[in-house]
Amino acid sequence: MIGVRRDPSARGYDFVLSGDRKTVSTVLRLKSSKLKEVVELTSQAKDFVSSSGVRNGLLSCFIRHTTAALVLANRREGVGELLTEVLHDAFEEVVEDKAGRISREPEIVGAYLLSAVLGSSVIIPVQNGRCAMGDWQGLYLIEMSGPREREVAMTLVGL
């Protein structure tokens, strides 16, 4: 470690200048089982962080597909499914009207659009060797064109 310096303009935050930065990565491989599905990945993310040896940093989760998304959402039962249902309903009429513009696989244009709106990545802070999510937050893969094999790349950078 090079050192810790306190910057009075930084409102009390400590800045660690370090050569001890650690990067750890893995790829979760899973297979969805339905056309539209919500798969919770919270425990996999927490297990990855706790086994990494990184105490403080950032966990980046990225899905390598254009017909699925990653989101942080409330872990209460049914919330992920309701989110997907509401978004599909909101997009359905627009997608049906405009899907003909896409020559390749127009039947999954809705999945492309929802994936873009929901996002392909999530960043989770890591503090004291644990994911610093809210008590009710969970990490979810939103499947919109399954069943398919999916990959979620997880990269943790920290000290």
Q: What is the pLDDT of residues 129-139, one digit of tens each?
A: 999 999 999 99
Q: Are 36 and 88 in contact (CB under 8 A)?
A: yes
pLDDT category at 18 given cuts 50, 70, 90 is low
Domain membership of residue 116 (yes or no) is yes
**Type of residue at 73:** A
> Looking at the whole model, is its pTM more than 0.85?
no
**Any domain includes 127:** yes
> Which pLDDT score is estimated for 108?
78
Sheet of 130-131, strand order: 22-31, 149-158, 57-63, 121-127, 130-131
Give the domain range for residue 90.
22-158
Q: Would 10 be classed as within a structural domain?
A: no
Listed residue (33, 24, 23) closest to 150, CA to CA: 33
- Do the bridges between strand 14-17 and strand 121-127 make them parallel or antiparallel, or are there none, so unpaired? unpaired
% the chain with pLDDT above 90? 57
Residue 89 counted as domain residue: yes
The DSSP call for residue 136 is T
Q: State the total domains in the chain.
A: 1
Q: Establish if 2 belongs to a structural domain.
A: no
**pLDDT number for residue 98:** 67
CATH code at position 144: 2.60.120.460
Indicate whether 136 belongs to any domain: yes
Please check whether residue 9 lies inside any domain of the structure: no
C-alpha torsion sign, points 75, 131, 7, 19: negative
Determine, yes or no, domain membership for 14.
Answer: no
